[in-house]
Amino acid sequence: MAGRGKKKLIGEEDMAKAEAMALDNCQNNTICRVMGWNEHFIEDRPDILKRLQKRRAEHKAELRANQRKHAKSTPVGAIWLGKQSLGQTDKSEISGRDGAPLPAPTIIVQPPSEGK
């Protein structure tokens, strides 16, 4: 069975740069392009993938902490960050009286009048 050859060694400086990009929430394909790696390089290297996933988790934890900290002074910014990076959404529900479901609309179709 033919292998892919030796794994490319990554220096600490390059790894630190990749981790910094992950901490800024860059995705794997962006990091690969910037670093000059092939598009599947990170997925093929579980050790690197794990380190970058850890940095992205740290990014989300930091965002949540900042969102909590600034929610009262800048709620719009906190909401935007939550939607963009944390997958948070606004929940809109429309219901009838006392939370009951809305009735289905009734459509009445009248035949055209004759003679006109």
Instruction: Give the model confidence (pLDDT) of 24-49 as tens digits.
Output: 989 999 999 999 999 999 999 999 99
How far apart are the C-alpha atoms of 35 and 48, rounded to whole Å?
13
pLDDT at position 1 is 43
Q: Answer yes or no: is 34 within a domain.
A: yes
Q: Answer yes or no: is 98 within a domain.
A: no
Q: Answer yes or no: is 64 within a domain.
A: yes
Q: Answer yes or no: is 39 within a domain.
A: yes
CB 67 within 8 A of CB 75: no
Q: Answer yes or no: is 102 within a domain.
A: no
The whole-chain average pLDDT of the chain stands at 84
Output b/e per residue, 22-46; b: 16+ Cβ within 10 A. Answer: bbeebebeebbeeeebeeebbeebe
* Higher-pLDDT residue of 108, 91: 108
Residue 72 structural domain: 12-89
- The count of structural domains within the chain is 1
pLDDT at position 44 is 92
Q: Answer yes or no: is 78 within a domain.
A: yes
Q: Is the pLDDT of residue 21 over 80?
A: yes
pLDDT at position 20 is 96
Q: Answer yes or no: is 23 within a domain.
A: yes
pTM, rounded to two decimals: 0.60
Q: Answer yes or no: is 106 within a domain.
A: no
